[in-house]
A and B are shown apart, each in its own frame.
Chain A
Amino acid sequence: MTTAIRPKRARSRTHKIGYLFIAPFLLVFLVFQLGATIGSFGISLTNWKGASGGQFVGLSNYAALFADADFLSALGHTLVVWIVTVPILSFGALLLAHLLNLRATRAKSLLRTLFFLPVLPPLVVVGVLFLLLLDPVFGLPNIFLQAIGLPAIDLRNDPNVALPVLSVVIIWRWLGYNMTIHLAALQTLPTEVLESAKVDGVNAWQLFWHIVVPMSKPTLIFTAVMSSIGTFNLFDEPYVLFGPEAGPNQAGLMLGTYMFRQGFVFFNLGYASAIAYTVAIIVLIITIIQLRVTRND
């Protein structure tokens, strides 16, 4: 009888100690993240402008959003960048990891390091770096383009280059990071499967498509979801590349920069909170769709 009780006691003590260990994080999280997040929802139902005197306006901020041309264009731009970058950041990263994982590949460590390097500099440094690269006077890509008779990439005056440049920056930065995640997963795959496939005369493409991809499904989902959240949260790169005006004709306006503008340039904190919640809901829907589509039947 007593022996049956003892383990239970021990377990409950362990529980308590566990809570003690996570308490510091949990307290900070509850007050500064969850608390702020819930508070932000309250603010999104008001027209509070950072001073006194915000009134409760119900869902009118949310209604106004869908008639707000700037919000819709920021949403459109974000979706374009998402559609362009996420397949490359998940699938492309897996292909890259697979190539690096092949026995025939030389200098693996060096290549891995090189692919991973872009993650290390701070985001703002990356933005400034690309601004300098694309300078029409001394930027190398532009000197090259002009040498072969093409027009220079003009971030400041050409609305058509904003999203392509932004997508390139994001892919350059995150491809190696996601590749590292895939690589770690690939190295845990049972090598017998791959070896026996080779013995059966499977070609390289079939090996990748029919064996590596299905086996990497969990990491593919993970990288796709994380990259999607990252895209909808984008702020630093577009802000540095296009400045507070978001580029010519606001061609580089993203949800993150628009939220910042409404919240901290125009001081419409209620409206900005509504943007934040709307974006969060969109990300949630996209995540659910991604999980549904890729679910094992």
Chain B
Amino acid sequence: MKNATQRTTTAVAVASVLALGLAGCVGQGGPNTASGGDGSAQVPAEFCASQNADPTGVADLVKDESITADLKFWGWYNIVPQAVLDDFHEIYPNINVEFTDFNTSDTHTKLATSLAGGSGAPDMSMVQDRDAPRFYDLPLLDLSECLAPYKDTFPEFKWDKITTPAGNQQAVPWEADAGVLVYRTDLFDEYGIDPSSIETWDDYIAAGEKIDEASGGKTKMLMSLPIANDNGIAGHVMSDFNMMLNEQGGQYFNEDGEPALASPEGERALDLIREFREAGITLNDVASGQAEKVAFENDEVATILQQASVSFGLKGSLADMSGKWGVMPLPAFDEGGTRGAIRGGTSLAIPAQSTNPEAAWKFLEFWLLRVDSRWTNYETGGLVENLFLPAAEDPRFTAGDDYFGGQPFLQIVIDSAREAPQFNENIKTNQLESSFKQNVRDFLAGEGDSSSLLETVANETKQAQ
């Protein structure tokens, strides 16, 4: 009996330790006190007077061998900054950059924990604009002074994204994904749709119904997906809603950070998404990236409502379809209404822990604030490289894109970005979208109405920790 008890006690002790190993998972990397982290206001940068500061983005640069540094760079899409490294070394031969790839969420996690813990942060890191609020109280360098000469080189909304409530600029602007409508020129021709006739969402639905009928139900206007597919060609309902809300000037959150999506704009966007399904113009719930690719190849989908980065998805997965696609601005909600929208975007921060912040700034300046670098990026598979406005005027960027039948893809993208109304993000954006995604499926199936769904999402977001 005693033995049995001893055995039980031992087993329970072992089990507790094993089970608590999981409790140990979470606490690691955090400080031992609740106050944690540095928490000081961001450290102002003091090395901005640069002989190579150049708001035109095209001036000749002066070679500078005086700075020697080994920089660490974290991000999830490092082929883009890596592509300019050789050109960078022409000017700054003694600054080396070592790139480490993490996925998006790991990058933010590691950056936040290393900033809060006071060690281990890199010299530069990508930060998604929607995650920027997480870093407001963490020690990143305030780059306001460095960026001052460049204030006219980005659309207004992008400055908003990188500016903290205290007015510090905590990152250098890189990209923002502007919404566009990509369509199959050959299918439009075949079924007699004139792309210039699609100015509003009503026109879009009418065209979709015409294609559906003329193709005997084979070709649908767009895919309707509650969850993103893994190759990221077609958009998903979450990003459709985000862009449609932004297009109307609607918001996830008001100025006080309270959920504000339960609004006439939110209802209109959501009702439109369901109307697509009810009108029978959608290919619904495609089950994988592979199935998605097959659907495109079989001419089952005529348009893609997506962010600008769709061009890389298309050129990568559907290279054979070059010349069959065209591009136009998003349709508007009302005749003559706004046709621009933004979803997402990324900027580059310099942690106060950086061993050589001046060298880090030199690299970011060279990479993000030079027209040539932006072009190198675009050719590498970068994102909306012409968000840097001097690049938007450059003939390479205004030229036609062969994949899109010679249409000026990047021109339409930058117009969308410039037209997009300002959009608030805050620390609860991820919670809001998580709640939306888990409630939207039943709504798409015809249950409930948009106003109660949006109320539910707003309440869940409010209550979320």
Contacts and interface: CB of A to CB of B under 8 A. Distances in A.
Interface stretch (A40-48, A162-170, A191-199): A40-48
A273 B23 contact: yes
Contacts of A209: none
A263 B290 contact: no
A163 to B, nearest CB: 16
B264 interface: no
Contact of A269 (B30, B105, B430): B30
B51 interface: no
A279 B18 CA distance: 12
A57 to B, nearest CB: 9
A42 B34 contact: yes
Interface SS of chain A: helix, strand, loop or mixed?
helix
A268 B434 CA distance: 15
A283 B23 CA distance: 11
B116 interface: yes
Nearest to B431: A266
Contact of B285 (A42, A48, A154, A243): A154
A255 to B, nearest CB: 9
Nearest to A291: B8
B4 interface: yes
B294 A137 contact: yes
A233 interface: yes
Contact of A233 (B22, B36, B442): B22
Contacts of A55: 34
B30 A276 contact: no
Nearest to B11: A291
Interface string A257-297: 00101111111111111011101100110011001100110
Contacts of B15: 225, 229, 283-284, 287
B26 A259 contact: yes
Interface string A109-128: 00000000000000000000
B188 to A, nearest CB: 27
Contact of B22 (A137, A249, A268, A280): A280
Interface centre among B23, B24, B442 (most CB of A within 10 A): B23
A244 interface: yes
Interface string A234-257: 000000000111011110000010
A266 B12 contact: no
Interface in A50-107: 50-56, 61, 64
A36 interface: yes
B39 A279 contact: no
Interface in A107-161: 131, 135-138, 152, 154-157
B315 interface: no
Contact of B20 (A37, A43, A46, A56): A37
B287 A155 contact: yes
Contacts of B105: 244, 264-265
A33 interface: yes
Interface in B274-309: 285, 287-288, 290-291, 294
A131 B291 CA distance: 13
Contacts of B57: none
B289 to A, nearest CB: 9
Interface in B365-418: none
Contact of B16 (A54, A268, A276, A284): A284
Contacts of B112: 50-51, 267
Contacts of B38: 52
A157 B12 contact: no
Given A50-B112, A54-B36, A249 B285 contact: no
Interface in B2-29: 4, 8, 11-12, 15-16, 18-28
A267 B33 CA distance: 16
Contacts of B22: 232-233, 256, 276, 279-280
B19 A36 contact: no
B198 interface: no
Contact of B23 (A37, A138, A261): A37
B291 A135 contact: yes
Nearest to B435: A70
A21 interface: no
Contacts of B290: 135-138
A32 B27 CA distance: 10
Given A50-B113, A267-B112, A33 B32 contact: no
A137 B438 CA distance: 26
A271 B229 CA distance: 30
Contacts of A283: 15, 19
A141 B113 CA distance: 43
A130 to B, nearest CB: 12
B465 A266 contact: yes
Closest 5 CB pairs of A and B: A52-B39, A40-B27, A46-B34, A54-B34, A276-B23
28 contacts: A33-B21, A34-B24, A37-B27, A40-B24, A40-B26, A40-B27, A48-B34, A50-B36, A51-B115, A51-B135, A52-B36, A52-B116, A53-B37, A61-B465, A152-B287, A157-B287, A229-B15, A233-B19, A245-B438, A248-B227, A259-B26, A261-B434, A265-B105, A267-B427, A269-B27, A276-B25, A279-B19, A295-B8
Given A51-B36, A248-B441, 13 more contacts: A49-B427, A53-B35, A131-B288, A137-B294, A154-B285, A156-B288, A221-B11, A264-B105, A269-B26, A279-B23, A283-B19, A287-B11, A291-B11
Interface of A: 32-34, 36-37, 39-43, 45-56, 61, 64, 131, 135-138, 152, 154-157, 221, 225, 229, 232-233, 243-245, 247-250, 256, 259, 261-273, 275-277, 279-280, 283-284, 287-288, 291-292, 295-296
